[in-house]
Amino acid sequence: MESNIVWHNASVLTEDYRTKNGHHSGVIWLTGLSGSGKSSIANLVNKHLYEKKVNSYLLDGDNVRHGLNADLGFKAEDRKENIRRIGEVAKLFAESGTIVLTAFISPYQEDRNQVRNILEQGDFLEVHVDCPLSECEVRDPKGLYEKARSGEIKGFTGIDSPYEVPESPEIVLRTHEFSEEDCAAQLISLLENKGWI
């Protein structure tokens, strides 16, 4: 890091924002295979929070790659940098008193742990959106699995690139057993039980 960069202390702290907003802030990190339902669940939860007048924002994997991370590919080092950047952005949201939902495949446990570790303890909720590969392939909303199976896409998570199942997530949402609405309700219940909302 450049030695001439000095940290500037803010006059308004995270606790001040939380007091003003009347709710906790932090990062809800939804991880799972492509097609598992991450974005759909995150959108449902975000809409619920908005309707409850909770300050929240959703960072979606595909959307972020259109702008902030448009320069990154899908090699292992690019995926790592993708998650690092998102983690730092999500941290800024949390510090501003916002509950930020992220919907990213984020296949590597090390990268998810890195994001957890840059946040204050208790400000990171890892959510495993669990759906068998076979079901995700049947859904294949973007047609990506078909392209990966035909060799058109290389290094696709779950096909020829690994997905590391979360070691100890705060919650597992099984989208092959429950509807997206039910899964969103389970996550909202967790937020209520933890006193976030």
Active site residues: 106
Question: How far, in Å, CA of 190 to CA of 169, rounded?
Answer: 12
91 is in an annotated binding site: no
Tell me how crowded residue 133 is: count the other CB atoms within 10 A of its CB. Answer: 16
Question: How far, in Å, CA of 112 to CA of 107, rounded?
Answer: 8
Q: State both tokens at 126.
A: 């890892």
32 is in an annotated binding site: yes
194 is in an annotated binding site: no
Q: Which residues pair with 161 in a beta bridge?
A: 157
Residue type, 28: I
Residue type, 24: H
E strands, 64-109, are 99-103
Q: Which residues pair with 102 in a beta bridge?
A: 29, 59
56 is in an annotated binding site: no
158 is in an annotated binding site: no
134 is in an annotated binding site: no
Residues marked as binding? 32-39
Residues marked as binding for ATP? 32-39
